[in-house]
Amino acid sequence: MHIHVSGSGPALVLIHGWALHGGIFAPLVERLAPHCQLHVVDLPGHGFSRDDSTPLKLPYLVNAIAAATPPAVWCGWSLGGLVALHAAATLPQVRGLAMLAATPRLVRAADWPDAVEPAVFEQFGQDLQQDYRGTLERFLALDVMGSQHARSELRTLRDALVERGEPEPRALHEGLALLERTDLRGALPALHKPGLWIGGQRDRLVAASAMHRAAAQTPAGLHVAHTIDGGGHAPFLGHADPVAGLLQRFVADCG
């Protein structure tokens, strides 16, 4: 698995979302490198890890990343948040958890209303078989829908998608299954590590209300949630300064 290391200071692991790669974090890397040692992951089947056959299942991913990184704060965006949350719940070397537009469950349920309808992920899985590139394009459009800076963010995502080669189809299907089936809400009450939850006010995939609800289910006083005004599902693109500022302070507080 490819993990790019840069910067100096306390360690921060960055884990990207579905269909993209670690290069999408460039705005954060630029701002955080003077303050943190950054370990930017390309998940298996994505980016420079395109030929890595590790299954996109949480235990495999968490163990592989942990074996290649020092004790650190783990930060995950969207699908990457599921990886980071599972790591924080199971590994002592995770010093803190930062969730970027991520919750423990991304699919709607009777007791979890502010989430994506199950049919959305099912449809993406079917569409990948018929129109691979068109399906990716539609998903990127969902990432930026509602954002104050939607046009520029969509250009960035489109460029990033092909910058390191297209993702492996196998990994896309496994990633969709991970998004559709994972429910980590049960880990929240016992998550006795510092947590930072950052969401976009206009996010159409991960509602800020769901992110705040998840943070409230963790031990009192350990987790805080912030909403980025005007932000969409990738708030670190159009609002890089406030997101980087929150992360910088959080990592410093975690030691």
Kindly list the strands in the beta sheet with 11-15, ordered across the sheet, starting from the edge strand earlier in the chain: 3-7, 37-41, 11-15, 72-77, 94-100, 195-200, 223-228
233 is catalytic: yes
Q: Which residue is catalytic, options 39, 46, 233, 239?
A: 233
* C-beta separation of 7 from 32 below 8 A: yes
How is 186-240 classified by DSSP, letter by letter?
A: GGGGG--S-EEEEEETT-SSS-HHHHHHHHHTSPTTTEEEEEETT--S-HHHHTH
Q: Which residue is catalytic, options 46, 78, 147, 239?
A: 78
Residue 120 CA to residue 243 CA, distance in Å, equals 28
Token pair, residue 205, equals: 């995939």
52 is catalytic: no
Q: Which residue is catalytic, options 2, 49, 143, 203?
A: 203
78 is catalytic: yes
Catalytic residues: 78, 203, 233
